[in-house]
Amino acid sequence: MSPDENKKDQVDENVPDDAVEETPQAEGSEPVDQSERADEEAARAAEAAEEAAEAAEETPAAEAAAAEATEQAEKAEEAAEVAAAEPKPKRARKAREAEQAADQAEDAAEEAKDTAKRSRAARRGRDEDPTPVPVGLKVSAQAKYVRTSARKARLVCDHIRGKDVEEARAILAFTTRDAAKAWTKLLESAVANAEHNHELVGEDLRILSVHADEGPTLKRYRPRAMGRATRIRKRTSHLSITLTPKES
């Protein structure tokens, strides 16, 4: 070993462990103190959750987005606490998790504020220029070739038939069946049709009827013993929903 290499090894051994993390980094790279970075992201997520909560207090329709923002803020705070307890090489991963949770919390807060803004505009327009609601008005939406069986879809739609839009949203949000996702999208589509085409307010609507009809069945096969084949039936369904104002 040459004298220069021996001298280099001696210098590296004398360098403290903290010097690696405290070394200034170039502009645009990750912050040096990952624990402080995680705390900042947790504070940003908490601020977004507060904004979403304020929007939810004003408009009940923003409660789902506010709940998501609160959940992401809790995840960011938990990641910050873990980052403070983790060794230095592992803090960067927890800081990135806190940053992702903070971004999602801000997105949810923006969605809650947009929902509250639309609700305020709808109420303002209704108060300034109330338009009479036609008697017996019906607004419908359909979703065809949904990849679920009609029987499974009916098990979900039976719970929301005759309910208000807000109550139906809450029921679908806490329904564990996969068909609830398709019904949620269809309900929001029907509400959008009512607001855009007839200038109605989504909170003032109720579900008049919901139907799940059987669609075409996709036929597939799987191999079985002794060279046989068994048919697999992938069923589809056609979903439809009809809304009407509460007064009618």
- What DSSP string describes 135-163? TT--EEEEEEEESS-HHHHHHHHTTTTT-
pLDDT digits (tens, 9 = 90+) for 199-248: 888 888 999 999 999 999 999 999 999 999 999 999 999 999 999 998 76
Provide the CA 164 distance to its chain's centre, in angstroms. 22
**Token pair of 181, please?**
């996702």
Confidence check: pLDDT of 31 > 60: no
pTM of the model: 0.49
Identify which of 33-42, 122-131, 152-161 has the greatest average pLDDT: 152-161
DSSP structure class, residue 177: S
Query: Cβ of 142: how many Cβ atoms within 10 Å?
Result: 14
Place 131 in a pLDDT band, splitting at 50, 70 and 90.
Answer: low
